[in-house]
């Protein structure tokens, strides 16, 4: 077997396959995090204080405990309880809940920033609570918190690197594997960083575009 | 007809309305005047059920506003309200601001709603601004848009809550003109206002609120020329 040698096209493709895993985990985690975050955020913003505060306290745990610890614990529970979920699923759920804890506060602050008088004006026209929420509060809140949500998404993408600790070969793990063979850590980390950047940049740009569009309204 | 009987309203320990009796006939324009905290704005919010009441009864054309069985969303279609803060929906164009409720609440098609909206916006002089977002409008224009938005539901009653108080002085006139026009068209209106000249000119009756009650009510001539209560006279002198 040949050890050492230069960075080859095969290595690059291997890194790209890791990048696909990173993107997949990011996508699933952000979807889970956003759906739960909107749900929890609305509860935090609208439900009686004791429900909202209890939920807030539970989510604070997920926000405060390092993600790495959550991943390892959740993965251990997965084995101990014989759930036998694939590690990919474990990674996605764990990151998704972690993201939802942050997304909840984003949604809560966005809903809170919609003036009460604007909501009243909508109700006074005969809109139901649900109609008011979907036509007035959520669209306005979305515009307000969109930059924070983009920030969360970019954060989750980078946090996916931690799932290598439960055995998922994503982009960072791929780069370690390649490094151990090629022995050019700086080059490979550089390339890996570049791939992360190439994945993040369009999301950030999309955010800017939408903000600009909404800003002209 | 709007009938208000012995209405009491409390915010915690604060007793805002202490037994208000009043009835407003179809086609009438009633102005509510009085110092801040006298309960007139709160009274308005109770009429379309935006605020609950602790005691008494409010009926609109025989429908009791605060009865459990009353469908408030349905009742509100018939009662338009315009607020002090004009409350434009910032993410919608002027046209969309006005078509929203006819489409969502009355189930009209986009085309039908747009016909209504264009008509109402022309009525308040905003025909040129259909595709503009509210942030590009002046306060007076936003307030006229809010009036058109309420009118698009073809309400039987219009409530105005200090609609010119947050406007720059030079923009007050255009909004008052719009309201003047409505009163001439026979719209039933309850107007909470600090614009005494306007109240005197358009009202059929004027109610002076003091400490959560109607302290004096009568024709504009009575209230402004010949108030029967010393407090009414003192209030009018103070402003």
What confidence score (pLDDT) does residue A183 get?
82
pLDDT (tens digit, 9 = 90+) per residue, A119-170? 999 999 999 999 999 999 999 999 999 999 999 999 999 999 998 888 888 8
pLDDT (tens digit, 9 = 90+) per residue, B118-144? 999 998 999 999 999 999 999 999 999
Residues of chain A neighbouring B105 (CB-CB closer than 8 A)? 125-127, 131
Interface of B with A in 95-134 (CB under 8 A): 100-101, 104-105, 133
pLDDT band at B30 (very low <50, low <70, confident <90, very high): very high
What confidence score (pLDDT) does residue A1 get?
40
To the nearest whole percent, how much of chain B has pLDDT over 90?
A: 82
Is B89 close to A143, i.e. CB distance below 8 A? Answer: no
To 10 degrees, what angle do helices A67-80 and A87-113 make?
A: 130
Which of B77, B90, B135 shows the shortest C-beta gap to A140? B90
Domains in chain A: ranges and CATH:
9-215 (1.10.3720.10)
φ and ψ of A85, to 5 deg: -75, 145
Question: How far off is chain B from A38, nearest CA to CA, in Å?
Answer: 19
Is B146 close to A118, i.e. CB distance below 8 A? Answer: no
What confidence score (pLDDT) does residue A4 get?
52
pLDDT (tens digit, 9 = 90+) per residue, A162-197? 988 888 888 999 999 999 888 888 999 999 999 999
Is A131 close to B83, i.e. CB distance below 8 A? Answer: no
Would the pLDDT of B154 be above 70? yes
Question: How far off is chain B from A103, nearest CA to CA, in Å?
Answer: 22
Among A113, A118, A124, A141, the strongest candidate for a mutation testing the B interface, having the largest count of B CBs within 10 A, is A124
The order of strands in the sheet holding B213-218 is B79-82, B157-161, B188-192, B29-34, B205-210, B213-218
Q: How many domains does chain B have?
A: 1
Question: How far off is chain A from B209, nearest CA to CA, in Å?
Answer: 24
Residue of A nearest to B151 (CA): A125
What confidence score (pLDDT) does residue A200 get?
93
A–B interface: beta-carbon pairs under 8 A: 65
Is A131 close to B135, i.e. CB distance below 8 A? Answer: no
User: What value does the mean pLDDT take over residues A20-46?
Assistant: 94
Complex-level ipTM: 0.87
Interface check B50 vs A, CB under 8 A: yes
Q: What is the 3-state secondary structure (H, E, C) of chain A?
A: CCCCCCCCHHHHHHHHHHHHHHHHHHHHHHHHHHHHHHHHHHHHHHCCHHHHHHHHHHHHHHHHCCHHHHHHHHHHHHHHCCCCCCHHHHHHHHHHHHHHHHHHHHHHHHHHHCCHHHHHHHHHCCCCHHHHHHHHHHHHHHHHHHHHHHHHHHHHHHHHHHHHHHCCCCHHHHHHHHHHHHCCHHHHHHHHHHHHHHHHHHHHHHHHHHHHHHHCC
Which of B83, B89, B105 shows the shortest C-beta gap to A126? B105
Q: State whether residue B47 is helix, strand or coil.
A: helix
Which of A120, A131, A143 shows the shortest C-beta gap to B104? A131
- The Cα A215–Cα A211 span in angstroms is 6
User: What value does the mean pLDDT take over residues A21-44?
Assistant: 95
- The Cα B205–Cα B199 span in angstroms is 9
What confidence score (pLDDT) does residue B213 get?
92
What confidence score (pLDDT) does residue A210 get?
87
Interface check B81 vs A, CB under 8 A: yes
Question: How far off is chain A from B130, nearest CA to CA, in Å?
Answer: 13
Which residue from B237, A83, A198, B212 is spatially nearest to B229, judged by alpha carbons?
B237
- The Cα A147–Cα A152 span in angstroms is 9
Is A217 close to B90, i.e. CB distance below 8 A? Answer: yes
Cα A170 → chain centroid: 15
Would the pLDDT of A2 be above 80? no
φ and ψ of B22, to 5 deg: -170, 145
Question: How far off is chain B from A49, nearest CA to CA, in Å?
Answer: 18
Question: How far off is chain A from B77, nearest CA to CA, in Å?
Answer: 5
- Encoding tokens for residue B148? 């058109």
Domain that holds residue B215: 2-238
pLDDT (tens digit, 9 = 90+) per residue, B185-236? 999 999 999 989 999 999 999 999 999 999 999 999 999 999 999 999 999 9
CATH code: domain of residue B126: 3.40.50.300
Interface check B51 vs A, CB under 8 A: no
Q: Residues, chain A, total?
A: 217
Pair A163, B110: CB distance under 8 Å: no
φ and ψ of B134, to 5 deg: -55, -30
Which residue from B79, B85, B21 is spatially nearest to B45, judged by alpha carbons?
B79
- The Cα B27–Cα B41 span in angstroms is 21
Interface check B149 vs A, CB under 8 A: yes
Q: Which pTM value belongs to this model?
A: 0.83
- Encoding tokens for residue A181? 């063979």
Residues of chain B neighbouring A128 (CB-CB closer than 8 A)? 73
pLDDT band at B171 (very low <50, low <70, confident <90, very high): confident
């Amino acid at each position: 077997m040949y050890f050492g040698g230069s960075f080859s096209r095969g290595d690059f493709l291997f890194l790209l396959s890791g990048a696909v895993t990173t993107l997949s985990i990011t996508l699933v985690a952000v979807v889970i995090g956003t759906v739960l975050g909107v749900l929890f955020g609305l509860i935090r913003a609208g439900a009686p204080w004791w429900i909202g505060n209890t939920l807030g306290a539970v989510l604070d745990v997920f926000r405060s405990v390092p993600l790495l610890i959550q991943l390892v614990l959740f993965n251990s529970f997965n084995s101990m309880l014989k759930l036998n979920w694939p590690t990919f699923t474990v990674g996605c759920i764990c990151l998704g809940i972690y993201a939802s804890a942050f997304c909840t506060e984003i949604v809560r602050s966005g809903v809170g920033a919609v003036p009460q008088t604007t909501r009243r004006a909508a109700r006074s026209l005969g809109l139901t609570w649900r109609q008011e929420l979907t036509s007035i509060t959520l669209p306005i809140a979305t515009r307000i918190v969109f930059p924070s949500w983009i920030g969360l998404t970019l954060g989750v993408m980078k946090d996916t690197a931690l799932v290598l600790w439960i055995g998922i070969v994503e982009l960072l793990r791929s780069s370690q594997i390649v490094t151990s063979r090629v022995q050019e850590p700086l080059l490979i980390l550089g390339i890996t960083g570049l791939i992360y950047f190439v994945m993040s940049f369009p999301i950030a740009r999309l955010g800017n575009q939408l903000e600009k569009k909404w800003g002209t309204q | 007809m709007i009938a208000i009987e012995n209405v009491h309203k409390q915010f915690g320990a604060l007793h805002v309305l202490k037994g208000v009796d009043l009835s407003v006939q179809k086609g009438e324009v009633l102005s509510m005047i009085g110092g801040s905290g006298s309960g007139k704005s709160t009274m308005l919010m109770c009429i379309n059920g935006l605020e609950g009441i602790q005691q008494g009864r409010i009926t609109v054309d025989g429908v009791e506003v605060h009865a459990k069985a009353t469908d408030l969303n349905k009742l509100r279609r018939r009662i338009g309200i315009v607020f002090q803060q004009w409350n434009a929906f910032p993410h919608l164009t002027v046209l969309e601001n006005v078509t929203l409720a006819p489409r969502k609440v009355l189930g009209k098609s986009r085309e039908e709603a747009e016909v209504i909206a264009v008509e109402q916006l022309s009525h308040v002089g905003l025909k040129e601004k259909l595709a503009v977002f509210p942030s590009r409008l002046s306060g007076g224009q936003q307030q006229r848009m809010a009036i058109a938005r309420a009118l698009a539901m073809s309400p039987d009653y219009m409530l105005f809550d200090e609609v010119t108080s947050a406007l720059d002085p030079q923009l007050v006139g255009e909004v008052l003109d719009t309201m003047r026009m409505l009163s001439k068209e026979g719209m039933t209106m309850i107007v909470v206002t600090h614009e005494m000249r306007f109240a005197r000119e358009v009202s059929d009756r004027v109610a002076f609120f003091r400490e959560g009650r109607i302290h004096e009510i009568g024709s504009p001539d009575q209230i402004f020329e010949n108030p029967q209560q010393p407090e009414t006279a003192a209030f009018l002198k103070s402003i």
